[in-house]
C-alpha cells in the first residue's frame, strides 16, 4: 500500500493544530485530552474515504524510529517535538485499536509512505497511490 505522506501528515496536524477544538498552547499533560479530536479525525477520514490509511500509516511511523516526526506534528500554534508526536500516535493506536499487539521494527509489511505527486495534497485527493 503506497500511502501519500501528506495525507497522514494532514490528519495528524488536524490534531496537533487544534482544528477540531480550541487550539492548544503546548503539549497537554494528558493525552486523553485528544480523545474527542481523535474521534473527529476518524469521522473526517470516513467522509473522505481515507479510513483505510489511518492504522497502517500510524503503525508505519511508529515502527520506523529513524523517521523524524517533528514536521508531522508542527502546527501553527505549537512546535511539536518528535517524542511528543510519537506519544500522540501511540495514544491514537491504543484508543482506536485497543486489541492490537505490539509493534515490531519495520512493520507493517507492504506499506510505504510516498510524497504526493504533483501539487499539494488536499482531502479530496486519493490518499493511496497505485502500485508502480
Q: What is the pLDDT of residue 56?
A: 96
Helices (H), the chain: 5-16, 35-48, 51-63, 70-73, 82-96
The mean per-residue pLDDT over the stretch 27-44 comes to 86
Q: What is the pLDDT of residue 95?
A: 96
Q: Evaluate if residue 31 carries a pLDDT over 60.
A: yes
* Distances from the Cα of 12 to the Cα of 74, 101, 132, angstroms: 9, 22, 26
Q: Evaluate if residue 17 carries a pLDDT over 80.
A: no
Per residue in 80-111, pLDDT (tens digit) is 888 989 999 999 999 999 999 888 777 788 99
Q: Evaluate if residue 21 carries a pLDDT over 70.
A: no
Domain ranges of the chain: 2-116
Amino acid at each position: 500500500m503506497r500511502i501519500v505522506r501528506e495525507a497522514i501528515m494532514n490528519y495528524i496536524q488536524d490534531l496537533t493544530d487544534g482544528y477540531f477544538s480550541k487550539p492548544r498552547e503546548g503539549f497537554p499533560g494528558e493525552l486523553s485530552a485528544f480523545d474527542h479530536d481523535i474521534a473527529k479525525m476518524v469521522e473526517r477520514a470516513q467522509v473522505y474515504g481515507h479510513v483505510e490509511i489511518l492504522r497502517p500509516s500510524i503503525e508505519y511511523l511508529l515502527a520506523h524510529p529513524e523517521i523524524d516526526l517533528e514536521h508531522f506534528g508542527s502546527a501553527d500554534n505549537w512546535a511539536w517535538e518528535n517524542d511528543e508526536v510519537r506519544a500522540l500516535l501511540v495514544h491514537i493506536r491504543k484508543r482506536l485499536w485497543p486489541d492490537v499487539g505490539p509493534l515490531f521494527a519495520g512493520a507493517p509489511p507492504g506499506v510505504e509512505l510516498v510524497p504526493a505527486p504533483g501539487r499539494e495534497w488536499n482531502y479530496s485527493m486519493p490518499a493511496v497511490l497505485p502500485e508502480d
